[in-house]
Structure 1
Amino acid sequence: MSLRNKVTLIGRTGKDVEIVQFENGKLAKVSLATTDHYTNAIGEKVEETQWHNLVVHGKLADIMEKYVEKGKEIAVEGKVVYRNWDDKEGVKHYITEIRVEEILLLGSK
């Protein structure tokens, strides 16, 4: 049996795409908001928003740069990546990112 790290998200971007240029290409970064609705134990309707850090490489980064602005509805497929690093003061930082492998541009802004 093959187990895979795969996630599909549909949401709206929370800011304009940030581009980081490297010698061998570029990286696009943007936050994506997904919203769930449910009814809690006392019958109240609840809306819960989660924010996801998207990271996009290669030709998909070009698409993100050209077509995705703040508030754009997109669907992405990718994998969850956990990273950590120590800053100059020795404090450990943790981040969870979605490494995007496919993108679908949906509705307008």
Structure 2
Amino acid sequence: MRCELYVRYVLPGLRALVANYLIKKYKLTQMKVAEKLGMTQAAINYYIKAKRGKKVLSILKSSSRVMMYVKKLGDIAMEHGYSQELEEAFCEACKAIRSDKRLIKKILSKI
């Protein structure tokens, strides 16, 4: 999977899952989630309402490996906010997703 496809389809889905995780687990407001993830409240609202990332959201949710990264990303965001650690964790998640051929095949069939 090329980086352009990851950024356009997978990353928004991953961000939506992390935003939902932070809201549900830590009871954060959209504004606080936006601060933790280095985004605007409007972007978080779009993710929550599945206006961004919805094409692959169900596929990502069904992967236990992806959900492990969602938890990791959310916990890092809570501890460090938008930081080098969070960016590196998103890169690690990207590499893991791109290395899963079955997951990539499912994602490509949706876009």
TM-score range relative to shorter protein: under 0.3
Query: Which TM-score applies when normalising by structure 1?
Result: 0.24
Find the structure with the greater CA-based Rg: 1
Larger relative strand fraction: 1
Query: Which TM-score applies when normalising by structure 2?
Result: 0.24
